[in-house]
């Protein structure tokens, strides 16, 4: 019997599957049909986020598992029906990839049948296969047609030579009109925060391809999601992320969201042991992508889980973030600010972005700016504090709906951004299914939602 009060888990599973399908339609670029799926996925995510504090993990357990299995099966069929990336590979050249995915599917089928001999090994085996599949993707597409790939290689090379990648002309701004005489310089440096840059170094240094660092980050994030509890639901939530149809496209093009997801999953995982232990990971997370500081309200709320040591946790967050950012920020302050901060406000309006702002512009309702994304994120961040529990799952849920609102109403929303949203929702699902979904012993006897705390 389905408990109609428990919307969170089913709503988030549906949102993840529908969002993945939307990205599959047009690789995350603007498409009216894909945007319709985005709208339905956002409605499901909103329904889940607004009922999080009223849901209980023990309800609908079997129904949610079945829904997870069906969603994973649907994603596998989509993954095998087209090329996994933008490289138009003939199916005759995809034999190795298809065989790897088929092996993953076989392991999942054995787990679904609850075969005893695969109970403890199917999930690690799926992760190992993912490493192999990622390496296959890199060999199939060694030089992807995107500037992100080139600028990462150039930035890492500059850093290893002792140069400041934030003070080098790595990115040239595209503008709809010529620059004014007051700002003739159209070139900026590496456009991502230092944590992202440093994470790219091992892959580039050891294997001459920084994307291997992204692959390891992706698999590590999935492992943290799956092992957030000993139950099956958390592992299925992890596989739901692993099999999202455009996941290999994110790896192929070298987008940095796998690193951001690793930091979010690590922070959420450690929150089960108290905010002090999670504080250093939270500091890293906030310094990984420009949009992640918008999760700061959820991070600050989590400090209430340990009311006696919240100052210590806050100090660790600040110190960790400062250690990662300040050495680069102080190297050439003006260049750093222009590349990492102001660039986000100078970029042109992207009419190929998969967001509602583009729909409004194409239908004559006016052209919005980045302020729409900022406003949507702030509204979602505040509202989610009242509708989600102050738990690890509530933290990830707040991050997911905040970022979903920001991208859906922003002028720059592509496959990689929505991939992060998918991952955040999977993290929230897995943490909700865990035994410490109420925050562990540190939160015993506390009111979990901000609404309860203020009432």
pLDDT in tens, 169-201: 887 765 444 444 334 456 789 999 999 999 999
Q: Residue 105: which residues within 8 A CB-CB, separation 6 or more?
A: 76
pLDDT in tens, 80-133: 888 898 875 555 578 889 999 999 999 999 998 888 888 889 999 999 999 999
Calculate the average pLDDT of the chain. 88
Q: Is the dihedral of CA 157, 161, 167, 168 positive or negative?
A: negative
pLDDT of residue 205: 95
The ranges assigned to domains in the chain are 8-454
Contact criterion met (CB below 8 Å) for 313 and 301: no
* Dist CA 355 CA 360 (whole Å): 9
The better pLDDT of the pair 350, 5 is held by 350
pLDDT of residue 60: 61
Report residue 415's pLDDT band, with 50, 70 and 90 as the boundaries.
very high
Report residue 7's pLDDT band, with 50, 70 and 90 as the boundaries.
confident
């Amino acid at each position: 019997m389905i408990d109609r009060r428990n919307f969170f888990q089913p709503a988030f599973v549906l949102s993840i599957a529908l969002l993945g399908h939307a990205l599959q339609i047009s690789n995350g670029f603007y498409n009216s049909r894909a945007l319709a799926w985005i709208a339905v996925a956002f409605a499901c995510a909103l329904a889940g986020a607004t009922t999080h504090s009223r849901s209980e993990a023990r309800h609908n357990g079997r129904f949610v598992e079945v829904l997870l299995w069906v969603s994973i099966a649907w994603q596998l069929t989509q993954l095998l029906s087209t090329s996994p990336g933008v490289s138009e590979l003939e199916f005759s050249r995809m034999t190795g990839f298809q065989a790897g995915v088929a092996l993953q599917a076989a392991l999942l089928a054995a787990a679904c049948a609850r075969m005893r001999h695969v109970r403890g090994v199917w999930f690690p085996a799926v992760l190992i296969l993912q490493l192999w599949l990622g390496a296959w993707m890199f060999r199939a597409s060694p030089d992807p047609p995107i500037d992100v790939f080139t600028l990462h290689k150039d930035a890492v090379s500059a850093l290893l030579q002792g140069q400041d990648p934030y003070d080098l002309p790595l990115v040239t701004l595209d503008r709809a009109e010529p620059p004014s005489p007051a700002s003739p310089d159209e070139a900026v440096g590496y456009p991502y925060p230092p944590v992202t840059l440093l994470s790219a170094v091992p892959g580039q240094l050891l294997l001459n391809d920084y994307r291997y660092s992204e692959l390891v980050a992706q698999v590590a994030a999935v492992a943290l999601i799956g092992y957030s509890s000993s139950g099956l639901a958390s592992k299925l939530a992890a596989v739901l992320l692993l099999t999202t149809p455009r996941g290999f496209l994110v790896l192929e093009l070298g987008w940095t969201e796998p690193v951001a997801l690793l930091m979010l999953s690590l922070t959420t995982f450690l929150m089960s042991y108290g905010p002090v232990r999670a504080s250093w990971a939270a500091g890293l997370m906030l310094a990984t992508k420009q949009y992640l500081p918008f999760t700061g309200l959820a991070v600050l709320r989590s400090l209430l889980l340990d009311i006696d040591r919240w100052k210590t946790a806050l100090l660790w967050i600040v110190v960790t973030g400062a250690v990662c950012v300040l050495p680069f920020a102080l190297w050439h302050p003006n260049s750093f600010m222009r590349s990492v901060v102001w660039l986000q406000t100078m970029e042109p309006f992207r009419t190929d972005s998969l967001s509602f702002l583009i729909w409004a512009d194409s239908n004559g309702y006016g052209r919005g700016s980045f302020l729409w994304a900022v406003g949507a994120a702030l509204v979602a961040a505040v509202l989610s504090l009242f509708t989600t529990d102050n738990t690890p799952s509530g933290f990830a849920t707040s991050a997911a709906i905040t970022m979903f609102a920001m991208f859906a109403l922003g002028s720059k929303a592509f496959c990689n951004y929505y991939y992060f949203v998918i991952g955040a929702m999977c993290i929230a699902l897995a943490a909700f299914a865990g035994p410490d979904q109420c925050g562990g012993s540190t939160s015993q006897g506390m009111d979990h939602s901000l609404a309860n705390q203020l009432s």
